[in-house]
Amino acid sequence: MDLIKVIGLGVAGNFAGHLEQAGELESFKDVKVADARAPKAVFPFYLPAPSGRMSDSFLKVFPLSSSEIRIPAGEPDANLQPEPEVGVLTRIEYDGERQVRTLIPEYFGAYNDCSIRRPGAVKISTKKNWGTATKGFSSNMIRIDSFSPAGNIAGYRIASFLKRDGNLYEYGVDSAVNDYSYMYGELMAWIRDRMNNQKDEGPQENISEYLNLTGYPEYALISIGATRYTSFGEREYVRLGDVCYVVLYPQGMSHSEIAELVRTETWDRFDCISMLRQVVVQG
């Protein structure tokens, strides 16, 4: 599928502890949620073919790459921090009033919701898309047989690493997909509600308006939330020449086995792995 035609959305605050580590919790202090476990917001990171007043929006720039992360031009010391998570390619069905009726997850893959840490930025989206190759999605997507605790996605784990000067570091805490706060039907119902009803308030944006402006796209790529960082990942931003890895792997494989595949870059023989490898380059 040509992802340039797919609206890009993300879920903020769907993994316990991540917002605190990323220094983002303060941004959501006024966001009211009925359930303490619930994520905080849905945000846009890409709008396909925006029209009208969105024609000059930074969100019209396609930000996804499966090979690079670009440091913004003129900002060599920009604080860029990878965010390892699961990306879900989801079909959108609308009702007669152009409200989102159903979300149907079809594929999942390794995703890097790389963020630029900009203190004081109001909207989440301004930290998510600063040009081309500022996000990452694996070219090896895995078809979802059932988006439920009985489905294949439920048996996966998320790991992430950073290679610097030939040394490999653990960047995110190895986590089960089942560790997300909201998942499966509960998550899709919550996202559907936010797509239809979220207002333009504080860090939140009106997703329904964006769906209208983009011609009601048939698909969304939804990043469902970043995992927690290791102590290294929490303190270290990326540098020119670093290599970032996000790995989705079946829980029948061990973490040490995955780390060795990353170290030797020999994962290609495993179709069951969704690997994202991005080199940090200058924009």
- What is the DSSP annotation of 67-107? SEEEEPTT-TT--EE--EEEEEEEEEEE-TTS-EEEEEEEE
| 90 vs 52: which has the higher pLDDT | 90
Q: What is the pLDDT of residue 159?
A: 98
Higher pLDDT, residue 274 or 27: 274
Q: How confident is the model at residue 50 (pLDDT cuts 50, 70, 90)?
A: low
So what's the pLDDT on residue 235?
93
User: How far apart, in Å, are the Cα atoms of 250 and each of 15, 91, 156?
Assistant: 20, 24, 4
Q: Of 258, 274, 108, which is closest to residue 180 (Cα–Cα)? A: 108
CB 174 within 8 A of CB 84: no
Reported as a single tens digit per residue, the pLDDT across 54-90 is 667 899 999 999 999 999 988 878 899 999 999 999 9
Strands 64-65 and 135-137: parallel
Query: Per DSSP, what are the bridge partners of residue 89?
Result: 107, 221
**160/169 Cα distance (integer angstroms):** 9
**For residue 17, what pLDDT is reported?**
52
| Chain-centroid distance, C-alpha 119 | 20
pLDDT for 53: 57
Predicted pLDDT at 25: 55
Q: What does the pLDDT average to over 30-49?
A: 83
Tell me 229's DSSP state.
B
Give dist(CA 80, CA 236) in Å, integer.
9
**Residue 165: burial class (beta carbons within 10 Å; 0-12, 13-18, 19+):** exposed
**Mean per-residue pLDDT for 176-202?**
96
Q: Tokens for 88, please give them.
A: 């879900």
For residue 32, pLDDT beyond 90: no
Residues near 25 by beta carbon (within 8 Å), at least 6 away in sequence: 19
**Residue range 130-174, pLDDT digits in tens:** 999 999 999 999 999 999 999 999 999 999 999 999 999 999 999
Which 8-state DSSP code applies to residue 131? S
Give the span between the Cα atoms of 259 and 245, in whole angstroms. Answer: 10
* 3-state secondary structure (DSSP) of residue 251: coil
Residue 86 to residue 146: CA distance in whole angstroms: 15
Q: Is the pLDDT of residue 36 over 90?
A: no
For residue 271, the model assigns a pLDDT of 95
Alpha carbon separation from 118 to 22, 108, 216 (Å, rounded): 11, 29, 31
- Give the pLDDT score at 30: 58
pLDDT bin (cut points 50, 70, 90) of residue 49 is confident
> What are the residues facing 275 on neighbouring strands?
247
pLDDT of residue 56: 75
